[in-house]
A and B are shown apart, each in its own frame.
Chain A
Amino acid sequence: MKHMTEEELITYREGVAAQRAVIAQHLAACQECRAELERIEAVLAALDTLPVPNPGDDYGRHVWQQIAPRLPERPARWWQAWLEPRRLAAFGTVAALVVGAFLIGRHTGRPGAPDLTASKEQIRERVLVVAVGDHLGRSEMMLVELSNAEPTDPAQKQVNISSEQRRAEDLLDENRLYRQTALQQGDAALASVLDELERVLLDVAHTPDEVTPAQLEKIRQKIEAQGILFKVRVVGRELQERQKAASPAPAQNGSTDSERNKT
């Protein structure tokens, strides 16, 4: 009788043999192969006695505590990231601005309509006022939250600012567009504030996800030193006033004497 090979017996024992039924049939009839299988099993049984330490009942909680501060805010499927409500809103605003500017631009080149120019500029400005007002409001909120950021657990030595960092990245793209539009419209004062805001947003976007309290304090000091929060609030309020003034009567154009231009 031809006996089973070691490979056949080991793969049989480990449940990965190709001809399982044939081996089983042979084992039933062959005492020598059964004895050989028992010797293999004895080695494996000895290996089974090697202990694995118990990491403890609360090990899962311990692992979570270790990794939670290192997790980014959102792993997100790439397409889900683009469908986030905040991002959609931002893109909607930017798209509205672009479409608005495009429609106005189409009319500007036409001959024989000089009386339309004033209202086109007003419409263009109104679009900018609404979009930039919203942008500044969100920027202010992000900067305030960043200034008030603290470790979630007092025992932690690092502060996770990944949420603010991502928002700064989103705001940065919009900010560039608004600054360029303001410059094209000759609104130098608004462009200047947006330029300052852009530098702060850039700093925040390039900061690591986690910072030490000392690093966070530096960021706070930088924000305070530039007075960016104050400027953003002032411009935001002014834009709101311009929006209110422009709503009932679009022909009104009193923004040149604004609070911002006085300072």
Chain B
Amino acid sequence: MIRMQPSVENAQTIADSDAVAVERTLAGDRDAFRVLVERHSHNVFRLAYRMTGNRPDAEEVVQEAFLRAYQKLGQFAARANFGTWVYRIAANYAIDRMRQRKKEEARKAVPAVHEEGTESDPVTLVQDAAPTPERLVHNIELRKHMEIALAALSHSERTAFVMRHWEGCAIEEIAEVLKSSSGAAKNTVFRAVQKLRLALQPFVGRGTQVRAMGTES
């Protein structure tokens, strides 16, 4: 489920069109920015949702990312790709939002707010207890475990995993968001997958055991 990659020609056309919109916005045509917002909102939303894990926060991240992009547009290098740039802004803000959310939840000392319709809702928990086919119960359980496992990652690990595994970002992009070296970013991706594997392996393909790695046979 990697970020939809447009064809090379299409990507170049979009980048050129973005560059024109950026120049027009900088020249004072505020409506030119609308083109950029409408073109990139879906991608930024997907990233934000995967990072924050809930829709209200994701929507806030999207809006804030575009507001910040508009304010900082003067610093945007014309040769850069606007889509990548706004993506980075969104990822940075999503990290801030996750930290803020964690503090809020710790202060309130109540369970995390879950999105309506997810398996952690009381409604779906009731469904969970109801007699359902084994497969469906397993899927619901697995989904719940996956959400918990993702939530247990550190902000950096979740960001690195989302950006690399789901969004197909380059390690350099991830390193820039994490404000780390490429080597450290790579290591963060590895740690994230390792933790997810440890948490989820018992529920995926039951009966399989994790091998003691790096051994000789």
Q: Which residues of A contact B (CB under 8 A)?
A: 1-7, 9-11, 13-16, 32, 36, 39-40, 42-44, 46-50, 52-53, 55, 59-61, 63-64, 66-68, 70-78, 80, 84
Contacts and interface: CB of A to CB of B under 8 A. Distances in A.
22 contacts: A4-B213, A4-B214, A5-B214, A7-B194, A14-B189, A16-B189, A36-B211, A36-B213, A39-B208, A40-B193, A42-B204, A44-B196, A46-B203, A47-B150, A48-B1, A49-B143, A50-B150, A59-B45, A63-B41, A67-B66, A68-B34, A72-B70
Contact of B26 (A14, A53, A67, A77): A77
Contacts of B50: 52
Question: Which 7 interchain pairs have the tightest Cβ spacing?
Answer: A60-B38, A77-B74, A5-B214, A6-B213, A60-B41, A48-B1, A75-B73
A10 to B, nearest CB: 5
Given A59-B41, A67-B37, A67-B67, A44 B214 contact: no
Contact of A46 (B33, B190, B204): B204
B55 A71 contact: no
A64 B33 CA distance: 9
A43 B197 contact: yes
A184 to B, nearest CB: 36
A9 B214 CA distance: 10
Contact of B190 (A7, A36, A63): A7
Interface of B: 1, 25-28, 30, 33-34, 37-42, 45-46, 49-50, 55, 59, 62-63, 66-67, 70-75, 142-143, 146-147, 150, 164-166, 171, 186, 189-190, 193-194, 196-197, 200-201, 203-205, 208, 210-211, 213-217
Contact of A43 (B34, B38, B204): B204
